[in-house]
Amino acid sequence: YEQREKAIRDYYSYMNSYKEEGLQEGLQKGLQQGLYQQAIQTAKNMLKDKVDIKLISKYTNLSIEEINKIKVE
């Protein structure tokens, strides 16, 4: 009986740790996606203002290729 109880506690502990890891990973991915979307919007605004692509890349950390794709859109 005690072994079964310990196994159940271990299982819940194991699941909770993975749940926490998953939550943290999800939050991190969400934050990164939000920052990326913000960089894209900034690049679009800078392109409208005719800012040089190299400067846009410098200030948004987007690659020249990414900015050129945005420019085509």
Nearest 5 degrees, angle CA 21-CA 27-CA 33? 135
Residue type for position 21: E
Domain extent, residue 10, equals 2-72
- How many domains does the chain divide into? 1
Task: Mark residue 52 as left, alpha or beta (left: phi above 0; alpha: psi -120 to 50; beta: remaining).
Answer: beta
pTM over 0.85: no
> Taking the mean position of all CA atoms in its chain, how far away is CA 35?
7
Q: Are the beta carbons of 28 and 20 closer than 8 angstroms?
A: no
Q: What is the pLDDT of residues 9-65, one digit of tens each?
A: 888 888 888 888 888 899 999 999 999 999 999 999 999 999 999 999 999 999 999
Cα–Cα distance, 41 to 19 (Å, whole number): 33
